[in-house]
Amino acid sequence: MKVGLIGCGAIGNVIAKAIDDGEEELVAVYDLEESRCVQLADRLRKKPEITKSFDEFISKDMNVVIEAASQQAVREYAERVLDAGKDLMVMSVGAFVDDELFERLKEVAKKNGKRIYIPSGAVVGIDALKAVSGIGIEEVVLTTRKHPESLRGAPFFEKSGISIEEITEPTLLFEGSAREAVKIFPQNVNVAAVISIAGIGFDRTKVRIIADPTIDRNIHEIKMKGEFGEIVTLAKNVKCPENPKTSYLAALSAVRTLRNLSESIIVGT
């Protein structure tokens, strides 16, 4: 399995290290900041090619390209990856809140006989959500609890006027649709996008975001209710050392998704 990687930040580093330790081959890496590519490559035994432009990157012989950069990267590069005859794994799933983009990429993937992979990310229970999605889901509620520092930089704070430094106790910052949550917390709730796509959509999926200075982990609780009964899942995730906005589990889910592509037995949906 030949892999290309867009984005050499926290998640990209975890994925690259796993590939380096496994049977896959990391062929090439690309990042707008070339120094990140250099730093990542220095940590690996098998050196990928550091490409200086996306055109150079996409010309390489790769089976699948992993996006681990940003929602903007999905908007700029996803269609070109699929048109180049490569499968695509998307980590910045919040980009798919743009319905037009999501539908267009599905059509491009179908036209080219390629696939778009969306790892389960930093939550548990996606298998269950997918299993019951066709039999009547009444409600899906995601409650995300993070330390205020993990939320720093979100557009929410500019719009609300709330200062992170003023949050001294658990505080409910947002309660509303997943569509709105993804827009105002674009780097923090990709899990809301994953849940929405797997279940009942961005408008019906409810999200609650709590800033909690008393915790040191990213906590995601999902409650599902419908004809199947009720399902509750809870994940208390260790944060990526290089980026507290990201759960370590999110990167590990990408690695597992990649491994599934070449295994003869796949457990779960």
Catalytic residues: 220
Which region, left, alpha or beta, applies to residue 115 given φ > 0 means left and ψ of -120 to 50 means alpha? beta
Specify whether the CB–CB gap between 29 and 51 falls below 8 A: yes
Helix (H) or strand (E) run with residue 155 in it? helix 155-160
For residue 49, what are the β-bridge partners?
28
**What are the residues whose beta carbons fall under 8 Å from the beta carbon of 117, sequence distance 6 or more?**
64, 87, 88, 89, 90, 257, 261
Neighbours of 250 (CB within 10 A): 25
Neighbours of 167 (CB within 10 A): 18
Which region, left, alpha or beta, applies to residue 24 given φ > 0 means left and ψ of -120 to 50 means alpha? beta
Helix (H) or strand (E) run with residue 188 in it? none
d(CA 44, CA 14): 11
Tokens of 69: 């950069």
Tokens of 164: 């992170």
The string of DSSP codes covering 42-83 is: HT-SSPPEE-SSHHHHHTS--SEEEE-S-HHHHHHHHHHHHH
d(CA 21, CA 17): 6
